[in-house]
């Protein structure tokens, strides 16, 4: 009798905790709402983000352009020259004038994986099941003293991302990535801050990225976020290399 009472009392005592325990889908839904809500996110058909980056003494401008459904173009600009990586929904390509290559070349499947994730204008957490990803809540963790929900997202391509969402704001404070590149697991992390509202949606205007555990991270400062700007599909398509013209009167 007394043992039964203890079991019942314990169940009643812990009931509020069980009732208020949040599932991974509930936390993701709150993240989406914190970012501005799914309706406003889905209304974004294109976006352009421009700013500056620095890594030690290295300085450059950067730009990222996205267009639905799965197009992205990323540039690093130094003294008028731009290194470009792009994905048009089918293939990834790049131009690297700083490496002596001025013509566009195809990227390998391993190298294009990150671009394919960047091409997802909503981000992989949104509609993750429909995209073939798997999400699970793996508990709490701290990011620079702030308590966060920690979500493990196993991507369709085999890579893994850990999202650290502020338990108060539900916005991303950090993302850790595990990517398989040519048979080697590479670990990276990105820290996010300075969220600002643009047309009802919230974007991080300052973020830092680098190898996991490395304090020498690349720092990005966003100058402008433009939503629903006109972007031609040709921006994302791999340029064709024009054959060199033969000299007039040359041998046939």
Average pLDDT on 230-247 reads 80
Residue 132 lies in a domain: yes
- In this prediction, residue 15 carries a pLDDT of 43
- In this prediction, residue 233 carries a pLDDT of 96
Contacts for 28 with CB less than 8 Å, ≥ 6 apart: 125, 126, 128, 135, 151
% of the chain surpassing 70 pLDDT: 87
| 17 has a pLDDT exceeding 80 | no
Residue 84 lies in a domain: yes
Instruction: Find the DSSP H helices in the chain.
Output: 2-20, 24-34, 38-42, 109-118
- Which neighbouring-strand residues pair with 219? 54, 208
- In this prediction, residue 145 carries a pLDDT of 96
CATH number of the domain at 209, please: 2.50.20.10
The answer to whether 66 touches 121, Cβ cutoff 8 Å, is yes
d(CA 248, CA 243): 15
Is the Cα torsion angle 234, 236, 240, 241 positive or negative in sign? positive
d(CA 74, CA 96): 12
d(CA 205, CA 224): 8
Phi-psi region of 109 (alpha: psi -120 to 50; beta: other; left: phi over 0): alpha
| 160 has a pLDDT exceeding 50 | yes
Residue 240 lies in a domain: no
Average pLDDT on 41-70 reads 96
Residues shown for the chain: 252
Residue 9 lies in a domain: no
Of 192, 120, 199, 194, the closest CA to residue 157 belongs to: 120
Average pLDDT on 147-152 reads 98
Residue 168 half-sphere exposure, CB side, CA atoms within 13 Å? Answer: 5
Residue 8 lies in a domain: no
- Which neighbouring-strand residues pair with 146? 143
Residue 213 pLDDT grade (very low, low, confident, very high; cuts 50, 70, 90): confident
What does the block give as tokens for 126?
């949104």
What burial letters (b/e) apply to 2-29, b meaning 16+ CB within 10 Å? eeeeeeeeeeeeeeeeeeeeeebeebbb
Of 147, 72, 180, the closest CA to residue 116 belongs to: 72
Interval 87-142: pLDDT, tens: 999 999 999 998 777 899 999 998 999 999 999 999 999 999 999 999 999 999 99
Q: What is the domain range of residue 58? A: 22-235
Residue 138 half-sphere exposure, CB side, CA atoms within 13 Å? Answer: 13
Residue 98 lies in a domain: yes
Residue 142 lies in a domain: yes
Which residue, chain included where needed, has tokens 């991270």?
A: 217
- In this prediction, residue 243 carries a pLDDT of 55
What burial letters (b/e) apply to 171-193, b meaning 16+ CB within 10 Å? bbbbbbbbbeeeeeeeebbbbbe
Number of domains in the chain: 1
Residue 17 lies in a domain: no
């Amino acid at each position: 009798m007394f043992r039964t009472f203890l079991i019942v009392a314990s169940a009643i005592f812990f009931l509020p905790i069980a009732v208020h325990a949040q599932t991974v889908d509930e936390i993701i839904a709150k993240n989406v709402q914190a970012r501005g809500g799914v309706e406003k996110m889905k209304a974004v058909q294109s976006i352009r983000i421009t700013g500056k980056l620095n890594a030690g003494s290295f300085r450059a401008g950067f730009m990222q352009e996205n267009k639905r459904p799965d197009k992205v173009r990323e540039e690093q600009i130094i003294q008028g020259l731009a290194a470009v990586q792009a994905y048009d929904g089918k293939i990834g390509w790049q131009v690297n004038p700083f490496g002596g290559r001025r013509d566009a070349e195809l990227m390998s499947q391993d190298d294009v994986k990150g671009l394919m994730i960047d091409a997802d204008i909503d981000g992989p957490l949104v509609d993750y099941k429909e995209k073939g990803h798997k999400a699970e809540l793996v508990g709490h963790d701290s990011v620079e003293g702030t308590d966060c929900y920690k979500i493990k997202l196993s991507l369709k391509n085999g890579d893994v991302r850990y999202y650290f969402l502020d338990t108060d704001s539900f916005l991303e404070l950090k993302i850790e990535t595990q990517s398989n590149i040519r048979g080697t697991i590479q670990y990276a992390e990105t820290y996010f801050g300075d969220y600002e509202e643009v047309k009802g949606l919230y974007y991080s205007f300052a973020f830092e990225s680098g190898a996991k555990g490395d304090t020498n991270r690349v720092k990005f400062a966003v100058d402008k976020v433009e939503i629903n700007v006109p972007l031609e599909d040709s921006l994302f398509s791999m340029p064709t290399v024009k054959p060199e013209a033969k000299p007039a009167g040359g041998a046939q």
